[in-house]
Amino acid sequence: MIILEKTCNIIDKAKKYLPRKYKAKLLKKITYEESLCSRFLIAKLIENSFGIRKYLIKTQEDGTPIWEDDIYWSISHKRWHILIGVDTKPIWVDVEIYKKREINLFSYMDRNEWKVLGKKDWNNFYIWWTAKEAALKSDLGVLDDLSKYKIVAINKIDNDHSSYSNEINIVYNDKKYSLLCGKKGQVYYSRTI
């Protein structure tokens, strides 16, 4: 996971690295600078991991990834907290920043999910939220379906070298998903595995 402060340094690097026509397509986005930076970081990660220079990710109009060359990637960002994933198999990521919300959001989790996760609190809510949203993205689903994805198991990861603290299993329409979830400060994140 990459957490960025909004700095001119990374924005300038991204602007210099990415072609003008490519940047022009992103101008419509409210999150233009975050989008530039996340695409720059993915290009650099692909260059370091696969040796492919100047790899430019492509998306459909709705933002859905167009994967090529057996390289799979995913982006999520919220207020300059950017999570990117690159893999040799499909990958989906989600990042959220903690903030207290309306308590009625807890009702989107059923009793069994609360039992799996433990106590009813905001920490478990954000673990639930990011895991389900990453799984939902893998199906190109809509947020209205989020409560239909059911968390059925959680396993703590006891590894000081991992940035993930939980492995979560989710079921939806007889399909199973495994995800890694973590937290750094007030930032919660998940990725499919």
pLDDT single digits (tens) 52-76: 999 999 998 888 899 998 999 999 9
Quote the Cα angle for 105-85-166, to 5°: 50
pLDDT single digits (tens) 8-54: 688 899 999 999 999 998 888 888 999 999 999 999 999 999 999 99
How far is CA 103 from each of CA 40, 106, 128, 135, 141, rounded to the nearest angstrom? 37, 6, 15, 23, 24
| Overall size of the chain counted in residues | 193
Is residue 75 located within the same domain as residue 131? no
**Residue 146 contacts residue 140 (beta carbons within 8 Å):** no
Residue 24 sits in a domain of what CATH number? Answer: 3.90.470.20
Is residue 64 located within the same domain as residue 80? yes
User: Residue 191: how many CB atoms within 10 A of its CB?
Assistant: 24
Is residue 66 located within the same domain as residue 99? no
Is residue 71 located within the same domain as residue 115? no
Is residue 22 located within the same domain as residue 75? yes
Q: At what angle do helices 32-50 and 8-17 cross, to 10 degrees?
A: 70
Amino acid identity, position 180 = L
pTM: 0.88
**Pick from 68, 87, 106: which residue ends a domain?**
87
Domain hosting 148: range is 95-192
Is residue 144 located within the same domain as residue 186? yes
Is residue 69 located within the same domain as residue 130? no
Average pLDDT over residues 80-109: 90
How many structural domains comprise the chain? 2
pLDDT single digits (tens) 127-165: 999 999 999 998 887 777 888 899 999 998 877 667 888
**Pick from 33, 65, 87: which residue ends a domain?**
87
Is residue 75 located within the same domain as residue 10? yes
**Pick from 87, 104, 137: which residue ends a domain?**
87
pLDDT of residue 171: 94
Is residue 50 located within the same domain as residue 139? no
Amino acid identity, position 172 = Y
HSE toward the beta carbon, residue 170, CA cutoff 13 A: 30
Residues forming a β-bridge with 167? 155, 180
Is residue 107 located within the same domain as residue 67? no
Is residue 99 located within the same domain as residue 183? yes
Is residue 166 located within the same domain as residue 99? yes
Q: How far apart are CA 55 and CA 70, in angstroms?
A: 13
